[in-house]
């Protein structure tokens, strides 16, 4: 895993990319992931939602948003499940999405449904 110094460099890089090319979907996605790793959920959501507003089939961004709703307090498993469900409709075999949906099901007490996502 990258150390925090590398993540700070990556954050600066993505911000620089956005300054140069404001509409860069990869830069917004990368910055959203970095901000998520820093638990800056509000800013991460801004960048990740920008991605899906401009690329509705970006299953990775949909999953990332779902993960934020799982992690941030108060947890919002309904929102998380909605975004992850959209992710899995686009890419049904996306492993991070399957694991995230299993976690949503488990946390909401749907343990039997959760199990199928972990298999």
Per-residue pLDDT 10s for the chain (119 aa) are: 355 678 999 999 999 999 999 999 999 999 999 999 999 999 999 999 999 999 999 999 999 999 999 999 999 999 999 999 999 999 999 999 999 999 999 999 999 899 999 88
CATH of 1-55 among 1.25.40.10, 3.40.718.10, 1.20.1260.10, 3.40.50.2300: 1.25.40.10
Query: Domains of the chain: which residue ranges?
Result: 1-55, 57-119
Measured between alpha carbons, how far is residue 89 from residues 31, 48, 100, 101, 110 in Å? Answer: 25, 18, 14, 12, 20
Strands, DSSP E only, in the chain?
Answer: none
Fold of 57-119: 1.25.40
Q: Residue 38: what pLDDT?
A: 95
User: Which residues contact residue 13 at a Cβ distance below 8 angstroms, ignoring those fewer than 6 apart?
Assistant: 30
């Amino acid at each position: 895993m990258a150390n925090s110094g590398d993540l700070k460099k990556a954050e600066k890089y993505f911000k620089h990319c956005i300054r140069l090319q404001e509409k860069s979907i990869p830069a917004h996605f990368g910055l959203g992931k970095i901000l998520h790793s820093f638990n800056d959920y509000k800013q991460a959501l801004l960048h990740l939602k920008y991605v899906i507003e401009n690329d509705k089939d970006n299953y990775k961004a949909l999953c990332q948003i779902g993960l934020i709703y799982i992690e941030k307090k108060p947890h919002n498993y309904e929102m998380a499940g909605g975004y992850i469900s959209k992710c899995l409709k686009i890419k049904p075999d996306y492993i991070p999405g399957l694991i995230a949906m299993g976690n949503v099901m488990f946390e909401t007490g749907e343990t039997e449904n959760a199990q199928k996502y972990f298999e």
